[in-house]
Structure 1
Amino acid sequence: MVFGDIPIEESVVLDHNYPSVSERYFTNYYFIPDDLSKSSSASGCEKSENEKDRTENMNSQDTKEDVTPADKENSDTFEEDKESLPSPDKTGHTCVMVHTNKLCLLTLSHRHPVLAEKKEITDINFDVGKFNRLNNQVSGKGKRGAQQMGLRSPLCIITCSDASQYTVLAGVNGKLVEVNERLISTPQLLTQKPNAEGYLAIVLPPLRNGVFGRSKLFSKEEYEALL
């Protein structure tokens, strides 16, 4: 078919960079544990005023989790199992992908050694000491009975072919909806498609006035500027 004097296949512009599904529906944020982010400046330079405000003057609302006493029974932190878990690497940051419906997909930051160094994953273990994330049981719209995740709750342990191990921290408060069980049999999904089929888990954060609290997370722009 000819469109004017030009074949129609040549008249269609095909070099546009259209946003991916992930870019259309998700906003990426990044979590850096406080004790690691404080020493993240290799140059020894002082933190910017914005960064100081972030670490020293956190939004008090974000420290108050909307949880019931039963939820607190289902919560833990990395500190509780520090002796038995591999320490999070200083660059082992968590990427929190916030969907337009406010559900959060948890995965690795592109700066995490596993992705940045293209390591071969041999095992992803969701048994993190006090809890086995695979035993998470939820019911109803309120996700009753779900394990409660905090910023520093261990989500899983990743083991690589070079014998390195990394504990991945949740990086967001909320109820654990599910973990990606496909990673147990196919851990390579995490390196091949970390922002899609290779996600680690889904968390439902507490919403205050319908707003996702993110004062302890870095936006993509802030994250790239920091490191």
Structure 2
Amino acid sequence: MEGQNADDTTHNTAENHQPSVSISAEQQQQDDNSKARIKALPAEDEEEEVLRRLLAPDVANLPSTPPSAIESNFITYFAPDFIKPGHDQYVHRHANGLCVIGLAPGHVAFKENEGVTSVDFNVGKSDRSGIKVTGKRKRNAQHFEPNTALCKVFSNDAYYIVRCCVKGSLLEVNESLIKQPGLLNSSAEREGYIAIIMPKPTDWLKAKAALLSSEEYKNLKDAS
């Protein structure tokens, strides 16, 4: 009986201590979680600070004017004196590979009194405005070399040939310039663009090597 009572006492004692052990482990887990949350607070505060700066940036650090759609979506390159002196052109390169071609601010046509007075897409044996590209496969797209003529821009009695600048497929020309050539004088880098070309990646890398960045072009013009 004494042995049985001893066993019962030991068993009861073990049972009585089990809840205490369980509670201690639970408390320890809670303590660990609390410490983890405390340690995480600085990182959370830092994340909130970054988010706050994005949503409410310091006014002193903002540009005087917001970036244009061209500045936000394209990287601009320049081809100064392309083929002939004074024939400066730009290439707006989009992330999807498309290249928008147009007249750079330093183009000789803008130095005439009246600027550009008319635009003619009929060059040689082909009228570029008659090209109609359709579908995802860009059917009817013509493949041109960098020196291929896109159009002629007229200024008084003189005219200047605008070229592709990059090797690729001609997707469209800006037909609005036929009736509104003045767009070249007022907004050559946007509504007054000449054409859109899609080069192959390898052809673009070759063309890019010969182009200037915006800063390089500005420095070139400031020095001249």
TM-score of the aligned structures, taking structure 1 as reference length: 0.63
Q: Which residue of structure 2 lines up, in the alignment, with residue 157 of structure 1?
A: 152
SS state at 2:122 partner:
coil
Q: Which residue of structure 2 lines up, in the alignment, with residue 106 of structure 1?
A: 101
Residue 30 (str. 1) matches residue 69 (str. 2)? no
**Partners in 2 of 1:180 and 1:133 — Cα distance?**
10
Q: How many residues align?
A: 163
Displacement of 1:192 after TM fit?
0.7
Question: What are structure 2's unaligned runs of at least 5 residues?
Answer: 1-58
Residue 198 (str. 1) matches residue 192 (str. 2)? yes
Structure of higher CA gyration radius: 2
Residue 91 (str. 1) matches residue 139 (str. 2)? no
Counterpart residue identity of residue 122, structure 1: T
Question: CA, structure 1 residues 122+209, in 2 after alignment: closer, same or farther (shift >3 Å)?
Answer: closer
The percentage of aligned residue pairs carrying the same residue is 35
Partner residue of 1:133 out of 125, 128, 147: 128
Q: Which residue of structure 2 lines up, in the alignment, with residue 17 of structure 1?
A: 65
Q: Which residue of structure 2 lines up, in the alignment, with residue 123 of structure 1?
A: 118
Partner residue of 2:161 out of 160, 164, 167: 167
**Partners in 2 of 1:33 and 1:130 — Cα distance?**
25
Displacement of 1:157 after TM fit?
0.5
Q: Which residue of structure 2 lines up, in the alignment, with residue 216 of structure 1?
A: 210
**Partners in 2 of 1:113 and 1:119 — Cα distance?**
12
Shift >6 Å, 4+ stretches:
12-15, 209-212
1:94–1:170 Cα contact (<8 Å) kept: no
**Partners in 2 of 1:213 and 1:150 — Cα distance?**
11
Question: What are structure 1's unaligned runs of at least 5 residues?
Answer: 1-11, 37-87
Counterparts of 1:65-76 in structure 2, within 5 Å, are none
CA shift digits 1:109-139 (9 cap, x unpaired): 1100223456332210001103210121323
TM-score of the aligned structures, taking structure 2 as reference length: 0.64
Question: CA, structure 1 residues 32+15, in 2 after alignment: closer, same or farther (shift >3 Å)?
Answer: closer
Question: CA, structure 1 residues 15+203, in 2 after alignment: closer, same or farther (shift >3 Å)?
Answer: closer
2:174–2:194 Cα contact (<8 Å) kept: yes
Pairwise CA RMSD: 2.7
Displacement of 1:164 after TM fit?
1.6
**Partners in 2 of 1:174 and 1:210 — Cα distance?**
8
SS state at 1:115 partner:
helix
CA shift digits 1:79-134 (9 cap, x unpaired): xxxxxxxxx5x111211111222211111011002234563322100011032101
Displacement of 1:178 after TM fit?
0.5
**Partners in 2 of 1:224 and 1:27 — Cα distance?**
15
1:206–1:212 Cα contact (<8 Å) kept: no
**Partners in 2 of 1:221 and 1:177 — Cα distance?**
28
